[in-house]
Amino acid sequence: MTGSWATFGADLHLDVSAAVRGGRGLRAALTEALREAARSGRLAPGTRLPSSRSFAADLGIARNTVAEAYGELVAEGWLTARQGSGTRVAERARPRRAPGAAPVHRPARRGPAYSLVPGSPDLGSFPRTAWLAAARRAVTDAPNDAFGYTTDLRGRVELREALAGYLARARGVYADPDRIVLCGGFAHGLTLLARTLRARRVREVAVEGYSLDIHRGLLTGEGLRTRPLWVDGDGARTTALPGLGLRTGAVLLTPAHQFPTGAALTPERRAAAVDWARTAGGLIIEDDYDGEFRYDRQTVGALQGLDPDRVVYIGTASKSLAPGLRMGWMVVPPDLLEEVLAVRAWAVGTSSALDQLTLAQFLTSGAYDRHVRGMRLRYRRRRDELVAAVAGKVPVSGIAAGLHAVLDLPPGTERALVRAAAWQDLALEGLVRYHHPDSAMPPREALVVGYGTPSDSAWTPTLEALRAVLP
């Protein structure tokens, strides 16, 4: 026997040498090794085994030895052999669990039948055909170095150039390709900035009083205290920034569409934020999470356009395409770029070079614009249907843009309503979960309804479930 293992369809390492050294014959050792692999699950039911000829060649043994081992295991029921189908591991019923024994496996718990949890687009609308066409062009046109190790910490220049043109045209961002740093999404970008701020000895970051706890957690996890700003119908009260003191070196804002209240930051408060950054030497982190989706008035441009030297702009493909792409980008001020790249050198999370090239093709071909226009119409219809469905029941706000709306509730009803929805198999989130624990604002009773989340087939029954639980 020239070898003690063979690699075949299931990529199984099969060792028979120990049994042979123990005095067992080669056929018996091979039979027991295969039997144990099937019994333990290393060979899954349905796995096709190699032919006796190729398996014998891999092991360096006689073909008859393999054929006899196969035949014995077929007779025992461990394998099946059919003409044209080859030899496979037999399907087996799961053994019954003895009383008191721990379960071997529990199937994953089914999620709610209906969901209006915010933060996700309609994943069923991902442009598969157009994306596949862009991927084919990207692979065909990719330079050889795209298949090698990453050399530019900013990411592929093809995508940075495409993004610079798109962001300037669609979002009013001043974006030199050399100042764009690709990242794996907003959370990844925020983590890089938090570490950069810590290296600059910043100790506190101002955040909106209603904001994502995940983002606040990322900041505190990097050693930065978060200071809440009051949020009202005009967005965050940035006029309060000078009063936070010298320890506050940055502010995180969602200016185009405040998350979760839906307010747009007014021009006066935008100017106040920029004035604070210039005077205090502070940094504004702009989360432009769904800036493409505005319905009732002219699109609100990015805050970054007011002062590119004081604002880090972060955008992603998570809402416009899909979060599973893990595709984001930061437009970094010149004096911060080298520090961000120094942190970036030790952080992982950016999408592959081929995915970056695919998105570049998607942008430059016009497919991205066509997709966004189509989704804008789709989401606006959903928004209108949501407003009509709850008319006369609860007030609705924050609906000029984005993929979610806020449904105001009578005092003292939010928690009970979210619980009642869960009993009806409907996932809802209340506004209180986004309330900063240190904020002086009294918590507002409301639902944050993500109307982009359901699939087309689930949209109507989801609306009906929502109506059923509203007061």
3-state SS of 106-146 is CCCCCCCCEECCCCCCCHHHCCHHHHHHHHHHHHHHCCHHH
**What average pLDDT values come out for the chain (471 residues) when binned by 10 residues?**
49 61 74 86 85 82 89 89 84 56 51 90 95 97 92 94 95 95 95 95 96 95 96 96 94 96 95 97 95 84 95 96 95 96 82 94 96 95 96 93 95 93 93 94 93 92 93 83
The predicted pLDDT at position 349 comes to: 67
Domains and CATH numbers, the chain: 1-106 (1.10.10.10), 115-119+369-469 (3.90.1150.10), 126-366 (3.40.640.10)
The predicted pLDDT at position 95 comes to: 46
Calpha distance 117→7 (Å, rounded): 46
Give the closest residue to 179 by CA, choosing from 356, 333, 350, 315: 333
Per-residue b or e along 16-52, where b marks 16 or more CB atoms closer than 10 Å to that residue's CB: beebbeeeeebbbbbbebbbebbeeeebeeebebbbb
Contact in structure between 50 and 8 (CB atoms under 8 Å): yes
- Residue located via tokens 């120990």: 18
Structure tokens at 137: 């062009």
Amino acid at residue number 245: G
Q: Helices 128-141 and 353-364, interaxial angle, to 10°?
A: 110
Q: Rounded to 5 degrees, what angle do the CA atoms 429, 171, 286 make?
A: 55
Residue 145 Cα distances to 148, 149, 155, angstroms: 5, 8, 12
Per DSSP bridges, beta strands 328-331 and 396-397 are unpaired
The predicted pLDDT at position 190 comes to: 96
3-class SS at 428? coil
Per DSSP bridges, beta strands 396-397 and 404-408 are antiparallel
Give the closest residue to 414 by CA, choosing from 404, 397, 428, 399: 428
DSSP secondary structure of 337-368 = HHHHHHHHTT---PPPHHHHHHHHHHHHTTHH
The predicted pLDDT at position 10 comes to: 45
Contact in structure between 61 and 26 (CB atoms under 8 Å): yes
Label residue 281 left, alpha or beta by phi (over 0 means left) and psi (-120 to 50 means alpha).
Answer: left
Q: Cα torsion at 228, 229, 235, 240 (round to 10°)?
A: -160
Q: Rounded to 5 degrees, what angle do the CA atoms 435, 441, 442 make?
A: 85
Burial class (CB in 10 A: 0-12, 13-18, 19+), 351: buried
Residue 327 Cα distances to 147, 312, 351, angstroms: 18, 17, 6
Q: What DSSP designation does 209 have?
A: S
Peptide bond into 260 cis (omega under 30): yes
Calpha distance 152→181 (Å, rounded): 10
The predicted pLDDT at position 110 comes to: 63
Tell me the torsion sign for CA atoms 203, 208, 210, 213: negative
The predicted pLDDT at position 275 comes to: 97
| Residue 357: φ, ψ to 5° | -65, -35
| Residues whose CB is less than 8 angstroms from the CB of residue 109 and which lie 6 or more positions away in sequence, other chains included | none
Neighbours of 53 (CB within 10 A): 11
Calpha distance 161→453 (Å, rounded): 31
